[in-house]
Amino acid sequence: MAKKFRKVLVANRGEIAVRVTRTLHEMGIASVAIYSDADRAALHVRVADEAYNVGPAAASESYLRIDRVLDTAKKAGCDAVHPGYGFLSENPDFADACEAKGITFIGPPGSAMRQLGSKTAARKKMGDAGVPIVPGATCETTDEATAAAIKIGFPVMLKASAGGGGKGMRLVNDASEMASAWERARSEAKKFFGDDTVYIEKAIIKPRHVEIQVLGDRDGNTVHVFERDCSIQRRNQKVVEETPSPAASRDLVAKMGAIAVQGAKAVGYFSAGTFEFLLAPDGNFYFLEMNTRLQVEHPVTELVTGLDLVREMVLIAQGEKLGFVQEDLHSRGAAIECRIYAEDPASGFLPSPGKIENLVTPSGPGVRDDGGAYPGCTISSFYDPLISKLSVWAPDRERAVARMRRALGEYIVTGIRTNLAFHEKLFTHPDFIAGNYDTGFLERNTADLLGYPKVAAEQREAVAVAVAIAAARLERATGAQQAQTGQSGSQVSPWVQSQRLRGR
């Protein structure tokens, strides 16, 4: 008999805490927020039914404190905890501690996390399960790494075994680069993960980064929920994600999906999870890692399938079986997501924390904004500077790209710098529009994407009209704010302000 949750603690902050809370409310489940001293006035605190302080601003003293999070859950009378992504979401000790306290962890079992938490262990486990992996080796010394690289064939990639997010990674093109790259990779791995174990993989040239969403229940029923293309990356961090992948046929996706399901079953996995693959230009694909949590980019999957992945996670955690089989799932249309960050592209994408003065988010047909900010709130320097995830859906990719351009043009943020202009330029780049890109696309096109976009003569009038509309919109927003605060006589024109907020 499935147990129905009455109250769930959301062990996270920002937009993902808001997003999880919304689904809980739709399911008739009370939500409990936690917050640090820096997040006392955050949006996720405002939308929850209850909220509790768990410590100072530093995540290590608040959101990462298992004892404080669970003490709060017990104090609030929670049945379960949803970890969101980041923080404790992939910590098997947290999953086990929840269960030990009689609180259900809305996610996979700690045993599955442990098998997949180390990239070297995950490679072996997936290889044994028949999942294709990139040729590689685990080495102890520079000499061993050099010998392995010669055997595998340069170029190779060094990766931190306990790592993620692009930390502890180095591309090595020949033997002369190995010694310095080896030491830098180990040093960075030790700094960020407390473990300097580094392994070596054959570097796949110009790959796509394609991932497969999986869902499984406690009875072993597992399905894949199609793919997401995450190849638009900056320093190995995803920036734009879309589905379907412009580079993968339906037959290839079905094959990748079947392999992902096979891998999930091999470790007794249930809940939501994602298998990440490198897709080579020749059509071969290789296991990269598995993320044992909800992904940042999950909205695009929800838009093309109609599923609520958070709801499915809650139902699975309650002990319910999946309400569908693989043949019931269908992907319809195309969806794209842009990550809107408080950062300054002109300064090497350095974070741009501070107070948001005006915030106008886009709307209209096929537009979804998963945000964690509001006018007057502060983007803290203590955490990831993500403002929101802007997603669109359309019947096909061409119209989805056009819809995203329109939505980006409606997005207004003042008071801080953002990467909105960067996204706008990306969505006018001919190769991106054609779906012709790989994981090195942003690095190769940095000059174009940080400069002014090339506008064909026949498009200049339309661009001028768009600029005028944006300036007028900003003028209205500024005027409204001045009316509320009693200020008047702005000395900066709307056009100048619009360029500042775009980061130009």
Angle CA(235)–CA(239)–CA(241) in degrees, nearest 5?
130
Over the stretch 114-171, which tens digit does the pLDDT of each residue have? 998 877 788 889 999 999 998 888 888 999 999 999 999 999 999 888 776 677 889 9
Amino acid 468: pLDDT: 52
pLDDT band at 14 (very low <50, low <70, confident <90, very high): very high
Q: Give the DSSP H/E element, type plus range, for residue 159.
A: strand 156-160
Spatial separation of the C-alpha atoms in residues 408 and 363, rounded to whole Å: 10
Amino acid 475: pLDDT: 53
Domains of the chain: 7-106 (3.40.50.20), 135-202 (3.30.1490.20), 205-332 (3.30.470.20), 339-504 (3.30.470.20)
Amino acid 503: pLDDT: 44
Over the stretch 240-259, which tens digit does the pLDDT of each residue have? 999 999 999 999 999 999 99
Strand partners, 81: 9, 105
- Determine the number of helices (DSSP H) and then strands (DSSP E) in the chain: 18, 23
The count of other CB atoms within 10 Å of the CB of residue 430 is 8
The helix/strand/coil state of 425 is: helix
How large is the average pLDDT for residues 312-332? Answer: 98
Task: With a cut of 90, say whether residue 482 has pLDDT above it.
Answer: no
> 170, 293, 403, 417: which is the annotated catalytic residue?
293
DSSP 59-120: GGGTTT-HHHHHHHHHHHT-SEEE--SSTTTT-HHHHHHHHHTT-EESS--HHHHHHHHSHH
Report the predicted TM-score, pTM, of the whole model to 2 decimal places. 0.84
Q: What percent of the chain has pLDDT over 90?
A: 77
Over the stretch 173-232, which tens digit does the pLDDT of each residue have? 999 999 999 999 999 888 888 888 888 989 999 999 999 999 999 999 999 999 999 999
| Residue 293 appears among annotated catalytic residues | yes
Amino acid 426: pLDDT: 97
Over the stretch 46-96, which tens digit does the pLDDT of each residue have? 999 999 999 999 999 999 999 999 999 999 999 999 999 999 999 999 999
